[in-house]
Amino acid sequence: MDLPARRTIVITGASDGIGAAAARTLSDAGHRVVVVGRSREKTEQVARTLGADRFVADFARLTDARRLAAELDEAYPRIDVLANNAGGILGDRAKTEDGFERTLQVNHLAPFLLTNLLLDKLLASRAVVVQTSSVGARLFGHLELDDLDHDRDFTPHLAYGTAKLENILFTTELHRRFHGQGLSSVAFHPGGVATNFAAESTSFMRPLYQSRIGRLVMASPERGAAQLVRFAQTEPGVDWQSGAYYERGRVARRTNPQAQDADLARRLWERSAELVGVPAR
C-alpha cells in the first residue's frame, strides 16, 4: 500500500479530549489535520492553535452531518483518514429532531451517515476509517435491531455501551464490504482518559470522570489519543489489522459476543442505511 507522507486527516470530536490531543500530535508530525467539533468557539480555538482547517457540526442533527460531508467533499481532493471520534455518554433519554435517541444518533447514526456520504472519496483515496469505541461495548452493550433507541429499557450506560458496540460492528462490516476495494477500518478503546467524558450524563460514571481523584488516576488525553495517532500514521495489514477492535494497542481478546456476529453486523448496516436514507452499498 503506497501511503502518502503527508496525509489529510479528518477528526470529528476534535475540539476537546483525545480528538484535540490527536489533532495536535498529527499536526506536529506534518499532516494536514481537519478539526471538526460541535462547539464553534472550542473548535476554532484548536484549529487556530494548529493552523488547521475547521468545520462545526452537531451530530444531534443529521442535517449537520450531511452538510459536513458536502463541505469536506468539496474542500479536499482526497481524504486519507476519517477518524469518527465524536460521541460519548449523554444524559437522560431524549430524542433528536430527527426522531432518534440522542446517544444512538451522535455515536453511531451520524458517523455512519458521514462515512457513507464520503464513501466514494474514501475509496478513491484508499483511506483508513477509525472508530473511537469503548470497553463499554462489552460491559454494557446489548443490541436489539427492533429497539435501537432502547425505548423498552433505556439507561445512559446501556445506550452508550450499545452505541460503542455498534461502532465495532460498523467497523467489521465496513471492512467486509470495502476492504477489497482498498478501504481499511479499525475501532479502538482509548482507555480511561481524563477528559470531559460523561459531563452531560446522569450515568454512574460521571462522578468518577469529574472527580479530582478520578482524573489523577486516569490517562492523559495524549496517551488516550496514542492509538488513534498510530492508526492514522501507519499501514493497515502491516502495522495493524483492518476490521479489528483494539484495546491497549492489541486486538481485544475479550469482546461482547454480539461483536463477533457477522450477520448482525450486516443487518445493522442495512437498518442504519434505511434510517438515515442512504443506499446499503
Tens of pLDDT, residue by residue, the chain (281 residues)? 566 779 999 999 999 999 999 999 999 999 999 999 999 999 999 999 999 999 999 999 999 999 999 999 999 999 999 999 999 998 889 999 999 999 999 999 999 999 999 999 999 999 999 999 999 999 999 999 999 999 999 999 999 999 999 999 999 999 999 999 999 999 999 986 554 544 454 555 555 445 554 444 556 889 999 999 999 999 999 999 999 999 999 999 999 999 999 999 999 999 999 999 999 98
The Cα 195–Cα 122 span in angstroms is: 30
DSSP class of residue 181 equals: G
99: its cell numbers: 426522531
Do the beta carbons of residue 184 and residue 244 sit within 8 Å? no
User: What pLDDT was estimated at residue 214?
Assistant: 46
Residues sharing a CB contact under 8 Å with residue 52, sequence separation 6 or more, in sequence order: 23, 27, 32, 33, 34, 35, 46
Residue 188 DSSP SS3 = strand
Closest C-alpha to 245, from 230, 255, 235, 236? 255
User: What pLDDT was estimated at residue 191?
Assistant: 83
Q: Tell me if the pTM is above 0.85.
A: yes
Q: Catalytic site residue 76?
A: no
The Cα 80–Cα 101 span in angstroms is: 31
Task: Please report which helix (H) or strand (E) contains residue 54, including its range.
Answer: strand 53-56
Closest C-alpha to 33, from 52, 48, 49, 14? 52
| Residue from 160, 209, 245, 246 carrying the catalytic annotation | 160
